[in-house]
Structure 1
């Protein structure tokens, strides 16, 4: 019997990350999953229903120590698929936010993600095979007034993924950037955005978002924007002045904007 491949998925306790892990498990991948909340254990138990081996780690993926815990769970095994999905949001005006919360968003979305990709990506490049999926966002195309740090972090990841893909073009390792729009997950509650228009609007199904990302990764595509409305939004954003985009975003993301909707 051939040995099963291994997928490493972060932010896999709920939402898009869990659905990505579900798709991997259904496709016969063994899993190492990680998140910074205890729900990761129950997620692992559900995923084991596919008949695959699932190792889970509850850790702070904003820290090098947390990422090292995930790598320890992988051990000497070959990671065939890395899905760097962990991310945090943060609502309200930048100057009203607690700076520790700001740093945690930056360290989760950027620092920890880069550290994990650097460590796993080196191993993939050395052997000449592997797939990396990075969860960016269409938010990276828009200056996010009242989500300034989050949108900027996603702009970083969107840009980084294209650069890394170019560097690995002849290596046998593919890099795919998944760029969803607003998705029906716990993100908006955790980010304090439930009283905003963007928090109350109709959102995409995380199952559909994950399927688009998984399929694009398996094809080796460079990127995928999920949903035709999001594709339209990114096209418009590319030709709209940044100042106007920021003002438009403020009308959707400022605290209290959702109360009359």
Structure 2
């Protein structure tokens, strides 16, 4: 399926207990990588770890962490390094959204979102990138979204966080162009995971109009990661939508996004 690069041995995946993160864990394990998995649900992580060990004979290490907590990302990297684990592939997948007009949404939810979607992702990249550069090998994949390409009424903070992820990823990848380390931004559109339930988006026009499945999204991202592609938008419809907004007036984009985000 995918050519394994033997120099790369261990991958860290955040948000690994379900959805796209879990599919990344399955792909990496199938190709013989050892994996470090983190999410909040320790019981679920243990179930996944036992399954991956039995099926693929790889090493699996788990860390139960809530990345919405201010020190969680730094604690995670400290614990990984304390175990002597070198991370060759970092997949910053953890993230969530909040839905509704900005004046009505929960500030706690949005603070947690900023912490997970931006701060934790940036912290893990900051902490683990120097080791990759020193070893002259490594790959990072940050899960952004098609939301990164335009503002998003009714999900203003979420769309802004994903714009950050895309911009940050492209900039760092360019900085690393003379090294053997790469950064890929994966920008999926609506995907059938627990994401839409947590954000109460199941009845929005966006999710009613059709979704990709997590397995296909992860495979698209994984192939892009291995090819060191800077930006990957899975699916023809998502690619078309991500490109067309560049040619539309901003007010038109805002109206369209508001319409598709609104609930029927």
TM over 0.5: yes
Q: Does 1:73 align with 2:77?
A: no
Q: Does 1:192 align with 2:189?
A: no
Could you list the runs of 4 or more consecutive aligned residues of structure 1 that deviate by over 4 angstroms after TM superposition? Answer: none
Q: 2:49 aligns with which of 28, 44, 47?
A: 44
Is the 1:64–1:115 Cα contact (8 Å) retained in structure 2?
A: no
Is the 1:9–1:85 Cα contact (8 Å) retained in structure 2?
A: yes
Q: Distance in 2 between matches of 1:202 and 1:43?
A: 28
Q: Which residue pairs with 2:38 in the alignment?
A: 34
Matches within 5 A, 1:103-252: 103-252=111-260
DSSP 3-state at the match of 2:52:
helix
The Cα of 1:64 is off from its aligned counterpart by 4.5
Q: Does 1:17 align with 2:21?
A: yes
Q: Distance in 1 between matches of 2:39 and 2:248?
A: 36
DSSP 3-state at the match of 1:8:
strand
Residue segments in structure 1 that go unaligned for 5+ positions in a row: none
Residue segments in structure 2 that go unaligned for 5+ positions in a row: 1-5
Q: Deviations over 1:193-216 (max 9, x none)?
A: 123222333200111111111111
Q: Distance in 2 between matches of 1:84 and 1:53?
A: 20
Change (3 A) 1:94 1:219: same
The Cα of 1:130 is off from its aligned counterpart by 0.4
Q: What is the aligned-residue RMSD (CA, Å)?
A: 1.6
Deviates more, 1:186-195 or 1:114-123: 186-195
Q: Which residue pairs with 1:55 in the alignment?
A: 61
Q: Distance in 2 between matches of 1:45 and 1:246?
A: 46
Q: Distance in 2 between matches of 1:130 and 1:252?
A: 38
TM-score of the two chains, using structure 1 as the length reference: 0.93
